[in-house]
């Protein structure tokens, strides 16, 4: 147990499982109060109860990051329960993979609305509070899809958009002591990897200079660093966590 984030309020979207669960766990271990938000409300409540049995340091709530009304309602609860927000982790995202010539408008819209619009909506809910505090940390989840992945024109476009948002917002709010950064994880040992055929997974790992997948804890360590006081002069950056594969 540490105290790097004692007296800090952290909001994590997509917190019910995967990266979001790991981020929440590690922020809690460092003394933060964590608002864990997810569209799967039963799942995120279960996860929060497991990570924080007393319930003293967590708020588990429902959010659809693609819906501005849902986002506003979720953040109103956060402010009522915890007060000011110091850290926002825009983690929620989905894939709707399809080859471009077969991709539907609905598949395009879903990927873009959750990842890109969701990052916009959630950041809008904290930015005035952070400006008033003259302090804040926003960390946006990007992806190696920035480099281009077959079947992910929608997802790649959304994540590239987040990269542009990150750099531009960092320039706007830097004078208010607010940093805005991103992380772009490569192949990670998460549940989604279990659906990849073994021969394909071996090929993917063979292409990574470090010859292994990353672990969720390694992505989380980067998020906590960017949210920390030690990273106070780092802004507008995307940290690639990819074992050297570009």
Could you give the C-alpha distances from 58 to 37, 51, 164, 187, in angstroms and in order? Answer: 10, 9, 31, 29
How many Cβ atoms are within 10 Å of 203's Cβ, its own excluded? 11
CA–CA distance, 33 with 86 (Å, rounded to integer) = 10
Residue 155 known to be catalytic: yes
Which tokens go with 216? 């969720």
Taking phi over 0 as left and psi of -120 to 50 as alpha, with beta for the rest, 95 belongs to beta
How buried is 228 (Cβ within 10 angstroms: 0-12 exposed, 13-18 middle, 19+ buried)?
middle
- Across the beta sheet with 136-141, the strand order is 58-62, 33-38, 9-13, 87-90, 136-141, 178-185, 238-241
Which tokens go with 59? 């708020």
225's CB contacts (< 8 A; 6+ apart) are 231
CA–CA distance, 155 with 197 (Å, rounded to integer) = 21
The stretches of 33-176 forming alpha helices (DSSP H) are: 41-51, 68-82, 105-112, 118-133, 153-173
Catalytic residue among 135, 155, 233, 246: 155
Which residues belong to the active site?
Answer: 155
């Amino acid at each position: 147990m540490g105290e790097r984030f004692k007296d800090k309020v952290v909001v994590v979207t997509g917190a019910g499982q995967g990266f979001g669960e790991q981020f929440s766990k590690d922020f809690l271990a460092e003394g933060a109060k964590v608002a864990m938000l997810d569209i799967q409300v039963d799942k995120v409540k279960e996860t929060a109860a497991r990570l924080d049995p007393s319930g003293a340091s967590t708020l588990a709530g429902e959010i659809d990051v693609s819906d501005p009304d849902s986002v506003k309602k979720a953040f109103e609860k956060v402010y009522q329960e915890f007060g000011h927000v110091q850290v926002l982790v825009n983690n929620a995202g989905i894939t709707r993979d399809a080859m471009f010539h077969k991709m539907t408008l609905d598949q395009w819209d879903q990927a873009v609305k959750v990842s890109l619009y969701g990052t916009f909506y959630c950041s809008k809910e904290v930015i005035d509070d952070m400006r008033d505090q003259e302090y804040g940390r926003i960390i946006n989840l990007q992806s190696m899809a920035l480099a281009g992945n077959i079947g992910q024109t929608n997802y790649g476009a959304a994540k590239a958009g987040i990269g542009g948002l990150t750099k531009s917002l960092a320039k706007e709010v830097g004078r208010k002591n607010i940093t805005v950064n991103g992380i772009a994880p490569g192949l990670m040992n998460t549940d989604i990897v279990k659906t990849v055929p073994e021969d394909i997974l071996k090929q993917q790992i063979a292409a990574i200079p470090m010859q292994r997948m990353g672990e969720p804890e390694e992505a989380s360590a980067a998020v906590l660093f960017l949210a920390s006081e030690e990273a106070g002069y780092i802004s507008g950056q995307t940290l690639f966590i990819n074992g050297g594969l570009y």
